[in-house]
Amino acid sequence: MSDILGTLEELPQDYRDAMSAAGVAPLWPMMRNVLPHGQPNPVTSPGHWPFASLRTLLLRAGELTPVEKAERRVLVLSDPGRGVGAMQATSSIYVGMQLLLPGETAPAHRHTPSAARIIVEGEGGFTVVDGEKLPMENGDLVLTPGGDWHDHGHEGDKPVIWLDALDLPLFVYLEGSYAEEAPLQAQRNRPDASQVEYRAAGIVPTRKLEATVRRYPLMRYPWKNTEAALRELARFGDGGTAEVDFVNPETGTDVLPTMGFTAMMLAPGTPESPPRRSTSAVFHVVKGRGRTTINGTVIDWSAKDTFSCPVFAEVDHEATEESFLVRVHDRPLQTKLGYYEERAR
């Protein structure tokens, strides 16, 4: 198959004018833009958002814009390949950093995109999802699946900051993104499911014949449990590194339809070079310090930083101290579409 295809300029002007009048265009001059050989040509570029800079800007936003005027006080992390203002960190993943000040509430709404939050700083914040009050502690993963009502509140005395990850770009592309608002939800007078029904891995409430299990039975994945699991895996592993996927405790599938979440523990001085994956990804550093090289771009990261990588990237991690990261990726979407792929380095 030839890579040398005919160009638009080779066609007579009268033919080009006739195509324009008919509302059509020739495929062949554009074919390699959408069907390159071998692998995609991503627009996404590696991005790095140091938390120190974001925190300063967020706290200033808290002074400048009351939450009532913002609904959600968020700074969007824009993909460098698309430019500042892009509502994408990668082609399929939106990421923002959100601030809630003591005593504030963010109103209840629900929307078609699914979202998850990784708690970055502060105590006393909570999210209510369909009436279930979810504490927000550092490193916790909190889900708000598409179509579920959710609001936020803050009972502490210092700012609370978390990272939002949504599959928003997909819904915008499909012209299916919208939200609805409602009053704050009544909260159930009991702990969340991570403290009751799904307190331990491998143990779930007894199935009853007439019972219907919720599609998303577990909305909060406490970081203390995740870190403990990673440490045990690393202790009995082959190099002090470990990974775990967050899954639905009833089905074992990924926690959301189009986004997956993987927690990583990196041992200091032990390089980690995963295969080249067809997925794009956003990494959030829960703890630690280190360096990641993405297609030759070097990112020196520290605790609470966020960085991204495009599809099929060559990624090399090396921690300079014990480090924990969460990788947000679109493998669930790609698996459903039947094209998830890994390539050896």
The residue to which tokens 């067809």 are assigned? 278
Query: Could you tell me if 313 and 278 are in contact, meaning their C-beta atoms sit under 8 angstroms apart?
Result: no
β strands within 145-259, DSSP E: 150-154, 160-166, 179-182, 220-221, 242-245
**Which residues make beta-bridge pairs with 177?**
none
The end-to-end CA distance of the chain, in Å, is 26
| pLDDT at residue 240, as a whole number | 76
Query: CB under 8 Å to 153, separation ≥6 — which residues?
Result: 100, 104, 105, 106, 125, 126, 128, 184
Q: Which residues pair with 263 in a beta bridge?
A: 244, 326
Beta bridge partners of 182: 108
Low-confidence stretches of the chain (pLDDT beneath 50): none
Distance between CA 69 and CA 154 in Å, rounded? 17
pLDDT value of position 213: 81
Residue 228's H or E segment, with its range, is helix 223-235
Alpha-carbon distance values, 270 to 238, 239, 323 (Å):
11, 7, 11
For residue 255, which of 141, 93, 338 has the smallest C-alpha distance?
A: 141
CA atoms within 13 A on the CB side of 252: 2
Q: Shortest CA distance to 154 belongs to which of 175, 127, 176, 114?
A: 127
List the CATH code of the domain at 48-343.
2.60.120.10
Kindly report, residue by residue over 96-122, the tens digit of the pLDDT.
999 999 999 999 999 999 999 999 999
Rg (C-alpha) for the chain, rounded Å, is 22
* CA contacts within 13 A on the Cβ side of 4: 0
Give per-residue pLDDT as tens, 133-189: 999 999 999 999 999 999 999 999 999 999 999 999 999 999 999 999 999 999 998
- The per-residue pLDDT for 4 is 82
Gap between the Cα atoms of 90 and 125, Å rounded = 28
How is residue 85 written in tokens? 């203002």
Long-range contacts of 62-71 (CB under 8 A, 24+ apart): 62/99, 62/101, 62/159, 67/100, 67/101, 67/104, 67/105, 67/106, 71/106, 71/107, 71/109
- Using DSSP, state whether 212 is helix, strand or coil: coil
CB contact set of 31 (below 8 Å; sequence gap of 6+)? 5
At 238 the pLDDT is 78
- Residue 206: helix, strand or coil by DSSP? coil
CB 89 within 8 A of CB 79: yes
